[in-house]
């Protein structure tokens, strides 16, 4: 299964594509940042991001998409990020992809084991985890962590997880002819 992870933004939109094989084996396919010039009108930037994301989806044909849910502290930032997330979700939906959203802390925890990891830590750890030669920038690292989070999601339904039998509890004594224990 091929996962597309997206870290939306109105100027920089990180994306990453990973393949997931049975046994939760992850293979890096592609990652990068879609940029829109700061001097352009906000709506023109959103159109440019949408068109470039359409090209990424057409080139790599992912099976599912995951988007980082926004966390901003100011109203203007929330509106701008919301517009960018809307464009990203629209483009993915038009391509027939199921879109799942994850909080930044959830994606960081799935990728690094620490939900409070810094952007630098996330980038460094995903580079090691996927065997990348170069540490990605912050937006690309976040997008990779979103893709890993989607791959690890139990609700995804297609990730095969090996079941490890637990050793019997030595302190559990079954009472014959009963469902209880002593």
> What single-letter DSSP state applies at residue 134?
S
Catalytic residue, candidates 30, 54, 63, 68: 68
Handedness of CA 107, 65, 120, 110 (dihedral sign): positive
3-state SS assignment for residue 13: strand
Question: How many C-alpha atoms does 102 have within 13 Å on its Cβ side?
Answer: 30
Q: Active-site residue among 7, 52, 142, 153?
A: 7
101 an active-site residue? Answer: no
The tokens describing 27, both together, are 């293979």
Active site residue 68: yes
State how far the Cα of 9 lies from the Cα of 49, in Å rounded to an integer.
Answer: 9
Q: Residue 123: CA atoms inside 13 Å, Cβ hemisphere, count?
A: 15
Q: Which of 52, 139, 142, 153 is catalytic?
A: 139
**Residues labelled catalytic:** 7, 68, 139
């Amino acid at each position: 299964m091929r996962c597309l992870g997206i870290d939306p933004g109105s100027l920089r939109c990180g994306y990453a594509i990973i393949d997931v094989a049975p046994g939760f084996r992850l293979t890096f396919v592609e990652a990068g940042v879609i940029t829109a010039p700061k001097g352009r009108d906000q709506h023109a930037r959103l159109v440019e991001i949408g068109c470039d994301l359409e090209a990424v989806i057409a080139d790599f044909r992912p099976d599912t998409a995951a988007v980082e849910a926004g966390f901003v502290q100011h109203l203007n930032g929330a509106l701008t990020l919301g517009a960018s997330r809307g464009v990203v979700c629209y483009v993915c939906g038009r391509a027939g992809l199921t879109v799942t959203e994850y909080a930044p802390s959830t994606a960081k925890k799935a990728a690094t084991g620490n939900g409070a990891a810094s952007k630098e830590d996330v980038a460094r750890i995903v580079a090691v985890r996927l065997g990348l030669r170069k540490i990605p920038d912050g937006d690309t690292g976040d997008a990779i962590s979103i893709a890993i989070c989607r791959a690890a999601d139990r609700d995804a339904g297609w990730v095969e997880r090996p079941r490890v039998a637990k050793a019997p509890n030595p302190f559990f004594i079954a009472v014959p002819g009963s469902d209880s224990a002593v």
